[in-house]
Amino acid sequence: LTFILVVTMKILVAAQFLKNSDVTLFLRGGAALDINSVRRKPFQWMANDVWLNVVQLSQSNKFYSNLVGDMIANEGTWKRWYEDNEP
């Protein structure tokens, strides 16, 4: 299954439907970030690794550039979604 995913991503990159940076973001997420070097996590209910993924996504993809601000402005909705068994 992993092999199929990697081959599919290579095909999508070659066809320019996906950028290498998108693949890297998908594979690494916020794992390369340090919790002490990014914006302070505004929520106690969110795990640090999840926060790092949010920060990385907001920095790496223009579409999600307002994600952090949107989450802060709508904390209740995001918390319910985060804690839901079937978001």
pLDDT band at residue 65, thresholds of 50, 70 and 90? very high
Q: What is the mean pLDDT of residues 42-53?
A: 96
pLDDT band at residue 85, thresholds of 50, 70 and 90? confident
Burial of 9 (0-12, 13-18, 19+ CB in 10 A): middle
Q: What is the mean pLDDT of residues 64-82?
A: 96
Q: For tokens 């690794």, what's the residue? A: 49
Q: For tokens 């790496």, what's the residue? A: 60
In angstroms, rounded to a whole number, what is the distance separating the alpha carbons of residues 65 and 34?
19
* pTM for this predicted structure: 0.82
* pLDDT for position 87: 65
